[in-house]
Structure 1
Amino acid sequence: MSDGRFNLFSFSGRMRILHLTWFAFFLSFFVWFNMAPLLGMMRETLGLSDQQVKALLILNVALTIPARIVVGMLVDHFGPRRMYSLLLAIGAFLCFAFAMADDYEQLALTRFLLGFVGAGFVIGIRMVSEWFPAKQVGVAEGIYGGWGNFGSAAAAMILPSVALMFGGDDGWRYAIALTGAIALVYSLVYFFSVSDTPKGSTYFKPRKTGAMEITSRGDYFLYLVMNLPMYGALALLAWKLGPDNLGMIGETATWLIYATLAGIYLFQAVRIHQINHHVFTEEVPEIERYKFKQVAVLDLAYLVTFGSELAVVSMLPLFFLDTFDLDPRLAGLLASGYAFMNLLARPGGGLFSDRFGRKRTLLILLGGLTAGYFLLGNITGTWPVWLAVVATMACSFFVQAGEGAVFAMVPLVKRRLTGQIAGMAGAYGNVGAVLFLTVLSFVSPQTFFFVIAGAALLVLVITALFLEEPRGHMAEILPDGTVQMIKVH
């Protein structure tokens, strides 16, 4: 790889790191979405109500919101090798606990905790950005994200057959446990097979931990505002599970959750001020500055791209099952077409971003996403099944290419903060998932698709107005105080 070429079929140098890392992400998604294709079996054998099923779908993506923020900070400090290995190992044991659950409360708790595994995405973003130059980082991140995201499609295609192979009421349990066993083994493989940076390179760390570094007064207040939706999404989840809706938690517990979330937000606001109060008393040197509005727009773009993907992947097997009265295995296989596009679409979005410009590419893909979800909103049982599958895959191309375009730009904002920026954008993906899945619990699937289309149109306008194309170089300060310029365009 010393000649700078991008040889996808190589397994040496930076390409070796890419392949090992996308597979770690693949397994994290394989574990995270091992429930979706088995929900039909679980519903039948455990006698789950429709509202209980929908609650499990929301719980599956809830913890990932704070987990991605926390993991983003930890990966910037401790490095991706240790963090990915730890995350896969923890996820494995949570899988075993979910597989052994014998009542709905245990199912709900372990499913909520398994949302932690979804934070794995953030770790690989930092790893890939350390190993690839700016002119290749878009396609490299796209391959990492796209091929890793395919883990959800693999789960939809494989796990129903695995469960049926074991047979009986407990077939789904064996299928879930198997995904955990695979993740546990690979956590060791990854730890002993990678390094955080190429030999001789510096791993830049934030000067302070606990909150993102901000470089202007306006960005300080924007950062505080952009943290609110993440806590709002968790409050929405508590409301949905509370006495006025699913009744899974009591009124006292619901208000305790609200108070806890408010307290955590206030604590974080204090921490943000402790780390960034200097912006009110002194000018941040030009060489240190970056524009937080770039992060904010990318957060919103990821809300409607990855957020909608999470929501749709969670509900699509059941949507095909109920809309077209299909066999569970066939429904899972057809629904996997949505995530299947990750193999090409997300790398394609990164490649287009590298070649044709970051902002222009993202605008085009957001437009296609809006049209795609409007099309899905028109699917009914009168459609031919093949046409519904084609429409689903066409929409998913723009969704996942849009994700690739977002994360082609994330590593180019501020290198030493890449984990935290990726963590915040990733968390917004889960904010979108919680928001859209909550909407789904009240409306028909068709209306659900129309809501996503409307949200995507709004973000398209915001992106057009406020996102700026990265230009030139970004500066990072080496430990010895010297400045290193990193090309970003």
Structure 2
Amino acid sequence: MNQDVAHGNRANAYVALTLATIAMIVCFMSWSNFAPLAAQVGKMFNLSVSERTLLLATPVLLGSIMRIPVGILSDKYGGKKVYLILMAFILIPLFMIPRVHSFGMLIFAAFLVGMSGTSFAVGVSYASVWFPKEQQGLALGIVSMGNMGNAVASMTLPYISKSYGFTAVYNFLMVLTVVIGVIFALCCKEMPVDKTKTLKGALSVTKESSTWYLSLFYFLTFGLFVAFTNLTPLFLTGLFNYSAVKAGLYAALFAFVCTIIRPVGGAMADHMRPMALLQWVFIAIIVFALVIMFSFHVQAMFIAGIVLVGLAAGVGNGVVFKMVPYVSTGNTGAVTGFVGAMGGLGGFFPPLVIGWIHDWTGSYELGIALLVLTGVICWFALWKHFIKGDFHIVK
């Protein structure tokens, strides 16, 4: 079925790809809304470093876990329907956030807005059916550029808050979500679905060892993207006394670099052995993380390390998702949900751990050392199972 669709109406395919990407950008703006405003929110609620990192991590939790059922629902009922329901739901926490008056309620609203992160599973599931497998590395790399919503949020939200007030930020996000939802509803066709699919059948992807290996690798690469997009403003305002707007621009630079390089990684994986390429990605992440670890008091080197690790992680994201459609035919949404969930959790834990370590030790270096260790573990698993071994996802 996928091949027939892929070689059918190309206009439908390109419209689906374009609007799925734009919708993901808008959803990711909501998902990452707290990162560029962390300093302001911290002052409003008198938060410690660990409380700020908890606030940054909370939306990532629900947005990660719920990628699994949302990806399955997209395969069964259609990505268009699920996307529209998701965008309608996001309006609830966006309305709540500027109106809460306690840290507990703020955390609750942050938890709900985390649903916007599931747009990744919907977008990949919806866009993938319109293209043949030999083109999916590039196509999925393009739709995954919806991650750029983090960069757009970092560039725009601090300015809106400074110029028009904190509440205006969320009014802006609500209006933007409604406008994109209406355009998506009017212009996109529903994807072909197999309504005979069952939850048990979708969960069969957990029996594939490849699902778990890709999940581990994405835990590192996408986790880096989420964690450092959220943490960069905290680092720059706390260590180098940047203003919230300037720190947001640097966070946007990181998110932009990590996102724009992702289709390049997917396209490279279309023409090279993906796992061999991924080995060099992990080596680069380890090296650049070490640069960050030893440059917390050297501004230029620190920023260079952030940008370079973003480049490596972005290429890795594209490579990993090149392989997703090969794991279980017809269950792309389910595999995307599992792999995406692990990637999201990779962005959930680092801010919490780094915040706790900072409160205990007064420094961030040990937290980055744990990132280096994770990179080594991923490299070893890749080398042992795919490089030295004879197991291949893509032949």
TM-score (norm 1): 0.74
Q: Which amino acid is the alignment partner of residue 223 of structure 2?
A: G
Residue in structure 2 matched with residue 479 of structure 1 by the alignment: none
Q: Measure, in 2, the Cα distance between the counterparts of 1:342 and 1:436.
A: 17
Q: Deviations over 1:103-124 (max 9, x none)?
A: 2121110001111110110011
The secondary structure found in structure 2 opposite 1:348 is: helix
Q: Residue 307 of structure 1 aligns with which residue?
A: 223
The alpha carbon displacement at 1:464 in A equals: 2.2
Q: CA deviation at 1:141?
A: 0.8
Question: In 1, Cα distance between the equivalents of 2:125 and 2:266?
Answer: 16
2:180 is the counterpart of 1:186: yes
- 1:207 corresponds to 2:197: yes
1:459 has 2:370 as partner: no
Partners in 2 of 1:413 and 1:352 — Cα distance? 19
Counterpart Cα distance in 2 of 1:32 and 1:331 = 18
What amino acid is aligned across from residue 184 of structure 2 in structure 1?
Y
4+ long deviations beyond 4 Å: none
The aligned counterpart of 1:421 is 335
1:128–1:137 contact (8 Å) kept in structure 2: no
Q: Which residue of 1 aligns with 2:150?
A: 152
Larger helix percent: 2
Provide the identity percentage.
25
- 1:48 aligned partner: 47
Write the distance in 1 (CA, Å) between the matches of 2:394 and 2:345. Answer: 30
Identify the match of residue 393 of structure 2 among 467, 470, 476: 470
Whether the 8 Å contact between 1:73 and 1:419 is mirrored in structure 2 is yes
Alignment match, 2:79: 80
Distance 2:186 2:376 in 1: 45
Asked whether the equivalents of residues 218 and 339 of structure 2 are also in contact (C-alpha less than 8 Å), the reply is: yes
TM-score (norm 2): 0.90
- How far has the Cα of 1:317 moved from its partner? 0.4
* Structure 1 portions without partners, runs of 5+: 6-10, 216-222, 224-290, 473-489
Contact 2:219 2:346 in 1 (8 A): yes
**Residue 409 in structure 1 maps to residue 323 in structure 2:** yes
Q: Which amino acid aligns with 2:46?
A: G
Partner AA of 1:30 in structure 2? M
Q: Which has the higher contact order (CA 8 A, sep 6+)?
A: 2
Kept after mapping to 1: 8 A contact 2:39/2:234: yes
RMSD: 2.0
Kept in 2: contact 1:293–1:466 (CA 8 A): no
- Shift of residue 46 of structure 1? 2.9
Residues 69-78 or 58-67, more deviating: 58-67
1:76/1:206 contact within 8 Å kept: no
Letter in 1 for 2:198: K
For the pair 1:434 / 2:348, whether they are aligned, the reply is: yes
Q: Distance in 1 between matches of 2:175 and 2:336?
A: 28
**How far is 1:335 from its partner?**
2.2
TM-superposed CA distance for 1:13, in Å, is: 4.0
Letter in 2 for 1:305: T
Distance 1:13 1:358 in 2: 29
Residues 84, 296 of structure 1: CA spacing in aligned structure 2 closer, same or farther, 3 A cutoff?
A: same
User: What is the aligned partner in structure 2 of residue 162 from structure 1?
Assistant: 160
- For 2:269 and 2:303, the matched residues in 1 are separated by 27
Structure 2 counterparts to residues 314-463 of structure 1, below 5 A:
314-381=230-297, 383=298, 385-443=299-357, 444-463=363-382
String of CA shifts for 1:270-315, please: whole Å, max 9, x gaps: xxxxxxxxxxxxxxxxxxxxx7111110000011111122111111
1:175 to 154, 163, 169: 169
Q: Which runs of 5+ in 2 are unaligned?
A: 1-5, 358-362
Alpha carbons 1:297, 1:466 under 8 Å: kept: no
Listed one character per residue, the Cα deviations across residues 345-381 of structure 1 (whole Å, up to 9, x for unaligned) are 1111101110112212222212212222121111223
Residues 315 and 343 of structure 1: CA distance in aligned 2, closer, same or farther (over 3 Å):
closer
User: How much has 1:177 moved relative to structure 2?
Assistant: 2.8
Tell me if the contact between 1:28 and 1:151 (Cα under 8 Å) persists in the aligned partners: yes
Q: 1:207-251: CA deviations, max 9, x gaps?
A: 321563538xxxxxxx4xxxxxxxxxxxxxxxxxxxxxxxxxxxx
Q: 1:61 to 1:213 in 2, by over 3 A?
A: closer
Match of 2:3 in 1: none
> What letter matches 1:55 in structure 2?
L
| Aligned equivalents of 2:352, 2:368: Cα separation in 1 | 13
Please tell me the residue identity of whatever aligns with 1:470: I
